[in-house]
Amino acid sequence: MMALAELETAVRLGLAMTIVIYDDAAYGAEVHHFGPHGHAVDLTQFADADFAAIGRAVGAEGITVRAVADLAPLEDWLARRAAGDEVGPIVIDAKVEPTVVAAWLEEAFRAH
């Protein structure tokens, strides 16, 4: 949400770029940092946002990905780009499991 202006700029300039949003419906670092210490994290979690639709709203292409098969439209975008067709940015709203934490991040949070 903090980069909507940059997304609009990428569309306006016709930049053929892939934008991936790892969407855990939260400020994930805060959830994983404060939650294990017993702090309330409800203010850091929020309803699911459709980032693919937000991308389409400003003129990008957009897909929502919950499984590898959902990436099929990206193959088409890449093929059009490789063929020299004009393509703008594509937004990939990658829905991720919010309870999964990278081992390095868990270790970093334990250090504090």
Structural domains of the chain, with CATH: 4-110 (3.40.50.970)
State pLDDT tens for residues 21-65: 988 876 666 666 666 667 676 766 677 899 999 999 999 999 999
Which of 11-20, 35-44, 80-89 is least confident? 35-44
Query: Using 50, 70 and 90 to split pLDDT, how confident is the model at 16?
Result: very high
Q: Give the percent of the chain with pLDDT over 70.
A: 73
Q: Give the residue-averaged pLDDT of 73-92.
A: 97
Q: CA-CA distance, 29 to 54, in Å (whole number)? A: 23
Tokens standing for 47? 């309803």
Provide the terminal-to-terminal Cα distance of the chain, rounded to the nearest Å: 28
Candidates 21, 27, 76, 26; CA nearest to 51 is: 21
- For tokens 């897909």, what's the residue? 63
pLDDT at 76 over 60: yes
